[in-house]
Amino acid sequence: MKYHFSDRVPKTDVDPVGNILKVAGDPKVMSFAGGLPAPELFPVEQVKKAADKVFDTKGPSALQYGSSQGVPELRNVIVDRLKIDGINTDVDHVMVATGSQQSIDLTGKMFLDEGSVVIVENPTYLTAVDVFRSYGAHFVGVDMDEDGMRMDALEQALKDNPTARLIYTIPTFQNPTGRTMTLDRRKKLLELAVKYDVMVLEDNPYGAIRWEGDNLPSLKSMDTTDHVIYMGTLSKILSPGLRLGWVVAEPKLIKKYMMMKQSADLHTDSLAQYIAAEYFAENDIDEHVQAITALYHKREQIMMAAIDKYFPKNVTHSNPEGGMFLWVMVPGVDDTQKLFDAALERNVAIVPGDPFFGNETIPGTFRMNYSNTPEEKIDDGVKRLAEAIREVMA
């Protein structure tokens, strides 16, 4: 059968990231490629207890159709969590989504037409690039440094693209770089969003996992003009398998999101929502997040020490204060794929930088994940990766 696909469907069947994750899944490969939480920390017993209580007290509701906006009990939990990011709001400003990925998808569907400009960090979350592209986005990448998106470059991009529809940013422990935007830049970004009247989509999946430095206010917490749509998720602090995320915006925009969500999947799994709400009612989430943070910090320290020990001195990298990723820049490499291939020959997997860029890439870059690799294996993996780097640089 020869199908007549829409223009949104990628012409190629080649899925480079899918292929990377597939080889990375080979048990003999040590993978720094994925972005998985450490499953040994999932609070299985507590979630089971929460589930039992849900079945005992509201079983039929948990199995029935529900509201597109989400279960009120969970929206209450979310409102409470938002205070950590300085956002004081109420349940009318919150919609539950089927993971953050759906929040991005619905935002793209709502705000982008063919050729609409989306301003993204250079590099940015790769699946956001896929989604926005599927709605016709034209990307303008804004260069970053260790303090996040450069504001001079952002203002230039806004001047050059007066019809830009969206600025997509992950200000804290960014994916893929692990970098965090400074407070001054957050304020400047907001100022520019208002000046050029562009919506900001603030994605904050990793913010709670901080082991160094002070919590910074979210963009949304400083937004007085409703230019910021905020996204959060339970994927990194409780469980990604439950697919629970949320969007925060003014109620009239939440109503539009609900209309789009109704078309997309009617509503998010009621059972998962009730279970999550019950988990929060019965457990100390902050304690759990501290345990996650401690483990990831330990793994990051081991990885950093190994990098210092084995990598050539002119290879640079980010220094995350939290989150799950770091970003490596190898000078003098024109084809990043070579780094991937050389690493894989040594049974180590990383994600080459290319798919994280909206348009032009920075060659010689790649992402490393430390949250999902047992401590005792990290040093050896980095050592082998260093050999691969030296081979490609030679």
Amino acid at 213: G
- Binding its own copies by CB under 8 A: which of 220, 227, 317, 384? 227
CB neighbour list of residue 340: distance below 8 Å, 6 or more residues apart = 20, 349, 350, 351, 352, 366
Burial class (CB in 10 A: 0-12, 13-18, 19+), 28: exposed
Binding-site string for its own copies from residue 187 to residue 226, where x marks contact by CB under 8 A and - marks none: ------------x-------------------------xx
State the minimum distance, in angstroms, from the CB of residue 311 to its own copies.
29
State which residue, 260 or 289, has the beta carbon closest to its own copies: 260
State which residue, 47 or 388, has the beta carbon closest to its own copies: 47
Reported as type and span, the H/E element at residue 74 is helix 72-82
Burial class (CB in 10 A: 0-12, 13-18, 19+), 150: middle
Residue 36 interacts with its own copies (CB under 8 A)?
A: yes
Q: 81-100: which residues touch its own copies (CB under 8 A)?
A: 98-99
Q: 104-123: which residues touch its own copies (CB under 8 A)?
A: 105, 109-113, 116
State the minimum distance, in angstroms, from the CB of residue 340 to its own copies.
20
CA–CA distance, 220 with 82 (Å, rounded to integer): 10
For the record, the structure tokens of 246 come out as 């949320």
Q: 315-354: which residues touch its own copies (CB under 8 A)?
A: none
- Binding its own copies by CB under 8 A: which of 208, 242, 378, 389? 242
End-to-end CA distance of the chain: 48
- Binding its own copies by CB under 8 A: which of 83, 90, 159, 241? 241
For the record, the structure tokens of 122 come out as 């250079």
State which residue, 5 or 88, has the beta carbon closest to its own copies: 5
Nearest to 311 by CA among 262, 368, 351: 368
Binding-site string for its own copies from residue 154 to residue 173, where x marks contact by CB under 8 A and - marks none: -----------x--------
State the minimum distance, in angstroms, from the CB of residue 295 to its own copies.
14
CA–CA distance, 140 with 157 (Å, rounded to integer): 7
